[in-house]
Amino acid sequence: MSDLGDWFRSIPLITRYWFASSIAVPLIGKLGLISPVYLVLWPDAFLSRFQIWRPITATFYFPVGPGTGFLYLVNLYFLYQYSSRLETGAFDGRPADYMFMLLFNWICIVITGLLMDMQLLMIPLIMSVLYVWAQLNRDMIVSFWFGTRFKACYLPWVILGFNYIIGGSIINELIGNLVGHLYFFLMFKYPMDLGGRNFLTTPQFLYRWLPNRRGGVSGFGIPPASVRRAAEDQQGGGRHNWGQGFRLGD
């Protein structure tokens, strides 16, 4: 048990709480401690009956059963893998900026869920984080199951198809990808590649709650490849190691 505890404590802070909540809330529903009816997002109950907890519980809840257990475990793995890599990579030392990204994506997904009557928000939020990671590491070669290899920028769409095959919904994954793209475009692509204004700025209260560590620069993560190449050219063409590929099935 000590090894399991050490592993859990080694998970980055925000990912750790997200990961733990995504296990605890489905377990509560599975054991019947709270009826799953009160854990999903129902627009009428949220808007008319002021059951304001539903967008939060719907983000962590998943109906685990014989037909959905594998899909749940796969997406729990994606949560752990990509949230950890993003929190300790592009957002290393800047937990407030990472929390702001999660909050922005979550708010967009909640609004979409209310408009489209989506009851479960776990997979869209996970996919939005995975999409951001894939764009920040778009030229990295990743290995998927069965030995397939491709650039990371295609990974969200490969997983969309994979989740559909094992019982998921294309709509959930697609919304997650679109929300992730919206964040990436507004935070990175538009201000850095296209010279536009920065529409997204981390609120100061998040910096007070989650202060930067080791002198991280607030407000943005690793810039897109085109911006990095321009900066490297100005500095004499120096090269950096922006990450390593990994095998998803390990």
- Token pair of 224, please? 């897109």
**Above 70 in pLDDT, residue 42?**
yes
DSSP secondary structure letter of residue 110? H
Cα 99 off chain centre by? 10
Angle at 123 between CA 184 and CA 131, to 5 degrees: 25
Provide DSSP, 144-193. -GGG-EEEGGGHHHHHHHHHHHTT--HHHHHHHHHHHHHHHIIIIIIIII
**More confident: 101 or 147:** 101
Q: Any residues with CB less than 8 A from the CB of 121 and at least 6 apart, and which?
A: 41, 55, 58, 59, 106, 109, 110, 113
Q: Which of these ranges, 144-148, 150-154, 210-214, 237-241, has the smallest mean pLDDT?
A: 237-241
DSSP secondary structure letter of residue 247? B
* Domain ranges (residues) in the chain: 63-209
Q: Are 216 and 94 in contact (CB under 8 A)?
A: yes
Calculate mean pLDDT across residues 52-65. 95
- Token pair of 236, please? 């004499």
Predicted model pTM: 0.83
pLDDT tens digits along 223-236: 444 444 433 333 33
**Cα(63)–Cα(35) distance, integer angstroms:** 11
Nearest to 220 by CA among 198, 249, 243: 198
Taking each continuous run of H as one helix and of E as one strand, the counts in the chain are 12, 2
